[in-house]
Structure 1
């Protein structure tokens, strides 16, 4: 089965949460026969005030997850698909063909971590609704994940995110009119037109390349890109990514 794990932050019932999910398994899901969902809810010992995990507890929580993963790797009838951290809890989600066996083995895996209280809940979920509707990111969340990957690559190259530099953006539209509407809104906010084409292959043949000058710290660049992303959606367009230079100043 495919493994492509990533995480993203979000709000669940107006409370901060963090999701770690296997994106790769989406192409195979729902997997025939894996119709039962087992959730192991672990009650954290020292969560942050906002309900997320603390630095003090980080290593122990990693040990718990490693212990659960070892058990799952030994069981062909169980698939670990993701976890949510929120409200002082960490919920691990598993799809299985045999909920009774899964519950037993997961309980055994928690024995070395006796300081933690936990509970196991089983649901029927043949369509994998929890995976697709709760764990799997929507397009806006996917864009945030892509932003994080770009920022991580830049950081590895020694980039100073506080340095203002040119950032380029690619956006595609179904019509010239929708592109013109988008362009009018962005140029009034300081974005500059770099290039546009009318012959791109696909459902959105009208393209734009824009640029603006900004720092790329997490908050600044994400706010800018999500504004472009949402505006593109309003104009029936598709925001397709960004790039910039490495600045070590």
Structure 2
């Protein structure tokens, strides 16, 4: 049973006429992140690009397909030996459902031994038949499905889409991936620079007081009205590692402190360090 099924239960969705998927007009931006789902570790893979066009009026129905894994890891995520076949099932479902129903695939959840795929539909007539036709090729896998009207795309925005802290972690990973492409070993300590912006000079001083014992050095303080509401800038640096766990720890720490006083953490950068 998919998570949406648990939240909504199964009902007959409203049926509307859908337009061509090519008319959605968004740039796909697929990302993954880890989250806590019903007190279980979950891996979410989602098309962030849809945030610019959703909710889509002619696709008001969410449809989910839940596949029970046969060999999940102990933590409930997919195992290496099964991930290839799960990918094949996902590809087959996505291709068939999109081509037959003009649906939009928005993302998936892997958690607690299940892989749940989520789509938004216009007309949901015979969607269950399409799913069953695909899954007949995979007789060793148990599956479930459901649908529900979701005009505001709450399933996408409130469940699949990352929270601000999770989105910051995704941005951290993007920078780290660029470092790796440059040959960085990530574990070598080096200066890491941070930019934070504030609405007032007093907010900036409050922030500095909060981090006074954290060994950050001030690189630059200034103000620029062209930045609009966040006119007071602060650039910091500290020697740190840049592996994912290390970066998430100190970046999210700074991000949270900035948010507490209405500031805006604007990102970090560092040099590529090789062996």
Question: How big is each residue's C-alpha offset from its partner over 1:90-127, in whole Å with a ceiling of 9 and x where there is no partner?
Answer: 11011101223322222212222221100011111111
**1:232 aligned onto 2:258:** yes
Q: What count of residue pairs does the alignment treat as equivalent?
A: 249
TM-aligned CA deviation for residue 75 of structure 1: 3.4
TM-score by length of 1: 0.96
Q: Among 95, 101, 110, which residue is 1:70 paired with?
A: 95
Q: 2:228: which partner in 1?
A: 202
Aligned to 2:17: none
Look up the match of 2:63.
38
Displacement of 1:69 after TM fit? Answer: 2.1
Q: Is 1:10 the counterpart of 2:35 in the alignment?
A: yes
Give the equivalent residue in structure 1 for 2:4: none
Superposed CA offset, 1:193-241 (max 9, x none): 0002211512211111100101111211111111011111112111111
For 1:191 and 1:197, how far apart are their aligned partners in 2? 17
Q: What residue number does 1:247 align with?
A: 273
1:147 pairs, out of 148, 160, 172, with 172
Structure 1 unaligned blocks of 5 or more: none
Give the Cα separation in 1 of the matches to 2:172 and 2:36: 18
Compute the TM-score of the two structures, normalised by the length of structure 2. Answer: 0.87
Partners of 2:158 and 2:84 in 1: how far apart? Answer: 29
Matched residue, 1:132: 157
Aligned to 1:222: 248
Residue in structure 1 matching 2:129, options 89, 97, 104? 104
Which region of structure 1 is more displaced relative to structure 2, 72-81 or 52-61?
72-81
**SS of the counterpart of 1:195?**
strand
Q: Distance in 1 between matches of 2:252 and 2:110?
A: 24
1:92 and 2:117 are equivalent in the alignment? yes
Q: Give me the whole-angstrom Cα distance separating, in 1, the residues matched to 2:46 and 2:199.
A: 32
What secondary structure does 1:40 align onto? strand
Q: 1:116 aligns with which of 141, 145, 151?
A: 141
Mapped partners of 2:268, 2:100: distance in 1: 41
Whether the 8 Å contact between 2:107 and 2:160 is mirrored in structure 1 is yes
Corresponding residue for residue 182 of structure 2: 157
The aligned residue for residue 26 of structure 1 is 51
For the aligned residues, what is the CA RMSD? 1.2
**Mapped contact 1:96–1:102 kept (Cα < 8 A):** no
Give 1:168's aligned residue.
Answer: 193
> What SS class does the counterpart of residue 74 from structure 1 fall into?
helix
Structure 2, gaps ≥5 residues long: 1-23
Indicate conservation of the 8 Å contact 2:217/2:238, yes or no.
yes
Contact 1:38–1:103 (CA under 8 A) maintained in structure 2: no
Distance 1:123 1:73 in 2: 18
Change (3 A) 1:207 1:75: farther
